[in-house]
Amino acid sequence: MKSQAALSREKYSTARHSLGLYRCVSVTCRYAVPPGTGLEELKMELRRAVAQVIMEQPFMRIGIVDEDKQAPCYVHVSRIDLTAQIQWYGPSHPDAVDAALCKHLSFQHDQLWPHAGQRPPWKIAIIPIETFKGSPVEIEVVYSFHHAIGDGTSGSIFHKRLLNALSNPVAVAGLDANQLNLPEPPVLPGSQDQLVDGRISWSYFLWELWDAFGPSWLKTKPEVVPWTARAIDFSMPYQTSVRILRVSAATATRLLSVSRAHSMTLTPLLHALVAASLSRHLPASEAPAFNPSSAISLRRFVPASTGLDVDNQFSILVTSTDHSISKALTTNMRNPSDQTLEEAIWDAAASVRKELRDRLATLPHDDITAMLKYVSDFHEFFAAKDGSERGNSWEVSNLGAISGGALEGGWKLTRAVFSQSAMTAGPGFAVNVAGIAGGEVTVTLTWNESVVDTALMESLATDLEAWTQHLAAGIPL
């Protein structure tokens, strides 16, 4: 592969990055270090393990060129300097771990990939948490990457494969000290257009064309305009704020049990909790209703015949669906009358769950990402959004649970954090969810304070922390 053209799904990400509208995705995992591992030994082990994962993942061995043009390409990177890709930081104080991680993520989510043609557009930051006689007991490993080389699930796969590489080390051909030599170009997986049979019906095709290009004076004006944060403005300073909320393993287990009793999953419940919080902190005149979205992985729709190992290989296979949290549902959460706040929240969650189920029942057909092939100029596509209202109030993206490993005294994962850059031309803010199987769950809020007031996000964080604990414990809201 001297070069390989990016197709429509990837062009969406390359154009967005070249315009500075979205910078990176990050998945962070906390690793318990085997007892007695010294710092220098740890650095050597991690360097070799990262090299082992690089050799497994074609998308970690490429760069991106011509992002500012209409035909961006993936190019082979023949040598990777691991000292440029892996950065070690000083240890975090045990009482300030999340503050240190939020500060790092806020910085990383604001960074562009200026040398993406020469260096793979991914980075690893390693932050020791505490030490015992000079040896780290736990480390945070932050894997950050350009969205054109992976989706959120790819970030969790990175940690899954890194854990395997640490637990089952093999010699890596081409690894010479800090240099990884890669004479053979990688064979990239097919793009989403090629891997997923996203058929589009004529009715859907014509509806989307009308929605995009139909004259506004012929369209019916909505009776209720949902809150979608401040309008898109490319001149606003780009700054990602990050807030991590922790749900303990015990609370997460009870919360999932309560959700199942209501035939509910975590994603619809989170949408409802967010809507309930915002409805109580924003006036009805400003936020009569909401229109959030859910990210959906398309990996389940990739046929085995494609040869892609969807559980272990990086790819970009994701779409989203919108939800309408109506004026009636919002009013009931803002001013509960005939029902309690908790009942109003479960009603809103049930509405989101139904929409999510209905969308999953029709996927991968009539999906908006399949329409991207008809976009001739992605830079113009995004530029046209400047000054317009946002399409969504917020986005919930749930990675699910990552297996943490269970070898006594060996490497294991104890926590996962999923985060992404502020979305200049997307939803007002992001609610990112990740967890370790049987362990802690984290909810990470990311936003730009020029788009959403930080005070509102802090109030949301306070409500989510309290309400998840109360629901899990059976305490009335």
| Residues 6 or more apart whose Cβ sits within 8 Å of residue 412 | 31, 32, 163, 404, 405, 406
Residue type, 129: I
| Cα distance between residue 375 and residue 9, in whole Å | 10
Q: What is the pLDDT of residue 205?
A: 83
Q: Is-contact 80 179, C-beta < 8 A?
A: yes
- Confidence at residue 304, expressed as pLDDT on a 0 to 100 scale: 94
CA 249 to chain centre: 21
Mean pLDDT by 10 residues, the chain (477 residues): 82 97 98 89 96 98 96 96 95 85 97 95 94 79 98 98 96 93 94 91 83 68 91 97 97 96 97 98 97 98 94 97 97 85 96 97 93 93 96 98 83 97 98 96 98 98 97 91
End-to-end CA distance of the chain: 57
Q: What pLDDT shows up at residue 431? A: 99
Q: Which residue's structure tokens are 């962070």?
A: 28
Please state whether beta strands 293-297 and 395-402 pair in parallel, antiparallel, or not at all (unpaired): parallel
Q: What is the pLDDT of residues 251-295, one digit of tens each?
A: 999 999 999 999 999 999 999 999 999 999 999 999 999 999 999
CA 442 – CA 416 distance, rounded (Å): 7
- Cα 219 from chain centroid? 34
Q: Which pLDDT value is given to residue 209?
A: 77
Domain boundaries, the chain: 3-181, 193-400+427-473
Q: Is the peptide bond before 283 cis (omega within 30 degrees of 0)?
A: no
Q: Which CATH class is domain 193-400+427-473?
A: alpha beta
Question: Are the C-beta atoms of 390 and 228 separated by less than 8 Å?
Answer: yes
Q: What does the angle CA 436 – CA 355 – CA 334 come to, to the nearest 5 degrees?
A: 85
Beta bridge partners of 412: 32
Question: Which CATH number is 3-181 given?
Answer: 3.30.559.10
E strands, 323-428, in order: 395-402, 412-420
pTM for this predicted structure: 0.95
pLDDT of residue 347: 96
Fold: same for 3-181 and 193-400+427-473: yes
Pairing of strands 318-322, 293-297: antiparallel
Q: Which residue, among 324, 333, 218, 235, has the nearest Cα to 280 in the 3D structure?
A: 333
In one-letter notation, the amino acid at residue 35 is P
CB 209 within 8 A of CB 379: no
According to the model, what pLDDT value does residue 214 have? Answer: 64
Q: CA 342 to CA 350: how far, in whole Å?
A: 12
Q: For residue range 42-84, what is the model confidence (pLDDT) as tens digits?
A: 999 999 999 999 999 999 999 999 999 999 999 999 999 999 9
Query: DSSP characters for 160-187?
Result: HHHHHHHHS----TTEETTEEE--SPP-
Q: In whole angstroms, how far apart are CA 242 and each of 100, 291, 421, 430, 447?
A: 11, 22, 9, 10, 7
Question: Tokens in use for 374?
Answer: 């008809």
Q: What local confidence, expressed as pLDDT, does residue 210 receive?
A: 73
**The tokens of 339 are what?**
């029902």
Question: β-strands 122-132, 25-32: how paired?
Answer: unpaired
Strand-strand pairing, 318-322 and 135-145: unpaired
